[in-house]
Structure 1
Amino acid sequence: MSILLMIILVSFAGGVLSVLCAAFFALNAKAAWVPMLISYAIGALLGAVFLEILPHAFEVASSIQSMSATVLLGILLFFVLEKLVLWRHCHGDACEVHASPHEHHGGHSHGIHDHGRSGLMIMIGDTFHNFVDGVLIAAAFMVDIRLGIVTAVAIIAHEIPQEVGDFLILLHSGYTKKQALVFNLVSSMATLIGGVIAYFALQSIQSWIPTILGLAAASMIYVAVADLIPGLHKRTELRATLQQAVLIGLGIGSIWLTGVLLHAG
């Protein structure tokens, strides 16, 4: 199977899978599971970065210093983009943009009118974010097929809780279930478009691949540390903390196991 075909299949399947899984949780009142999904996603993101992406990035980079600088600048870049509402990684009740599932289901969210105005911006932000995910997946596949698969797994893991939040906002902004599903599916296709464009662009600009891998690592670190982990601190009881730690460990373990199985294959 060619690299391009694998990028197309993974990007398409990953986008559709994450939206359908999110729809299941959001439309079947499973929003209470979102915190568990977030904990798992943190582990998957950090596992992919430190066990797979960064080791490969350092191998193909011109120097360790240049790659470290790329990751650092990438983290600052995503901070600025998020401030400009171009890069949006809010999940569940982890930020002000997304009211908590409890607030949504109880119908007492004070920001429903704001959510209605921000519905279109949410879709624009998600489309941009999904396009970038496609670029990152393509760059990873062009370095190593195993790295591409692991990167895709981590991206799908963190997309699911994000999409759940999007569904809840759209539903409580007046959209029907069908409209919310269609909008999210259309937005997810940006992953496929980004992957295909990146594949052909990187064919002639191979020197960009290390930089994109560094940005991929930076984006995943930023999402996990700046966006997701703070939300977990809202639950301070020992049971919740242990549950979060176990699920983060499972996320890391799943990435490690995926890498081991792909090596063995």
Structure 2
Amino acid sequence: MSNAWFATIASVTVVSLVSLIGAFVIAVHDRRSEDEEYSPFMHFLIALAVGALLGDAMIHLLPEAFAEAGQIASLYVGGGFIVFLILEKFLHWRHHHRQQVKNRIEPVGVMNLVGDGLHNFIDGALIAASYLISFPIGLATTIAVVLHEIPQELGDYAILRSAGFSKRSAIFFNFVSALFAIVGAVVVLSTTINVIATAPLILAFTAGGFIYIVLILLKKLGEELTASRTFGHIASIVLGILLMWALKFIE
């Protein structure tokens, strides 16, 4: 058990550190810009995030949820969609009644953190459960999760920056969201709670939330009306979906 603890914590720590990739890539690309959230590269990453979120929901989360939980998963997909809708409306209402706030944070940023946190929690739980079976299975699961996270984390930082988070707060909160992988792992290793049994329903709920976030981001990208920008956005979305599809063969 001690070996499983060490291997699991080391693995989920690596997975959590992957959350810094988005900030690093953008910092290298736009290190001289103070307003990189308005750059074409940032819009490319947001469009990539749309494709990654949509591909993650449609190619990974939903098939797994329905395969394990059956038709009941559809209720959780709808529940996730509705809960994220309510969350957005609540955040809009809260900001409307706090007009004095200078740097307004758009709800999509908070919702992305919530959805990503749930996803990371399940990832950590799956890694822990895999190491309890055997070290090779745990290592294989960790590699699959890391490869899965890289394209998504590139877009997550861009989403937070475009939602009004400062550079430091975007890095901090994205990293905190990633740390939920450690929470999920510890829950599996230290308690008798069968997280894995409820994982398909949590994945279905998360998929519903991701789909709602995609709709909001598409509206945001729709503000760019030039033909070249529109084509670039579509190409980036398709790339994000293809990356998620390609990961099916690696997993």
TM-score normalised to structure 1 length: 0.68
Task: Provide closer, same or farther for how the CA distance between residues 59 and 127 of structure 1 changes in structure 2, counting only shifts above 3 A.
Answer: closer
Deviation digits for residues 84-112 of structure 1, max 9, x if unmatched? 339xxxxxxxxx99xxxxxxxxxxxxxx9
Residue 187 (structure 2) pairs with residue 201 (structure 1):
yes
Q: How many residues align?
A: 222
Task: Provide closer, same or farther for how the CA distance between residues 123 and 218 of structure 1 changes in structure 2, counting only shifts above 3 A.
Answer: closer
Residue 227 (structure 2) pairs with residue 241 (structure 1):
no
Which of 65, 77, 84 is the aligned partner of 2:83? 77
Residue 207 (structure 2) pairs with residue 210 (structure 1):
no
Report how far residue 74 of structure 1 moved.
0.5
Return the letter of the residue paired with 2:102. H
Work out the CA distance in 2 between the residues paired with 1:243 and 1:216.
27
Q: Which residue of 2 aligns with 1:135?
A: 121
Of the structure 1 ranges 199-208 and 32-41, higher mean CA displacement relative to structure 2 is found in 199-208
Report how far residue 44 of structure 1 moved.
1.2
Task: Provide closer, same or farther for how the CA distance between residues 140 and 222 of structure 1 changes in structure 2, counting only shifts above 3 A.
Answer: farther
Work out the CA distance in 2 between the residues paired with 1:129 and 1:220.
7
Work out the CA distance in 1 between the residues paired with 2:150 and 2:160.
15
Contact 2:53 2:152 in 1 (8 A): yes
Work out the CA distance in 2 between the residues paired with 1:216 and 1:129.
6
Work out the CA distance in 1 between the residues paired with 2:222 and 2:59.
25
Which of 51, 55, 72 is the aligned partner of 1:47? 55
Unaligned runs of 5+ in 2: 131-139
Work out the CA distance in 2 between the residues paired with 1:43 and 1:8.
26
Contact 2:46 2:158 in 1 (8 A): yes
Contact 2:122 2:199 in 1 (8 A): no
Contact 1:39 1:247 in 2 (8 A): yes
- Identity rate of aligned residues, in percent? 18
Q: Which residue of 2 aligns with 1:153?
A: 150
Of the structure 1 ranges 247-256 and 26-35, higher mean CA displacement relative to structure 2 is found in 26-35
Q: Which residue of 2 aligns with 1:38?
A: 46
Q: Which residue of 1 aligns with 2:66?
A: 58
Return the letter of the residue paired with 1:84. F
Contact 1:138 1:199 in 2 (8 A): yes
Return the letter of the residue paired with 1:35. H
Task: Provide closer, same or farther for how the CA distance between residues 72 and 26 of structure 1 changes in structure 2, counting only shifts above 3 A.
Answer: farther
The CA RMSD over aligned residues, in Å, is 3.6
Work out the CA distance in 1 between the residues paired with 2:221 and 2:187.
39
Work out the CA distance in 2 between the residues paired with 1:122 and 1:245.
20
Which of 233, 237, 247 is the aligned partner of 1:258? 247
Work out the CA distance in 2 between the residues paired with 1:59 and 1:126.
25
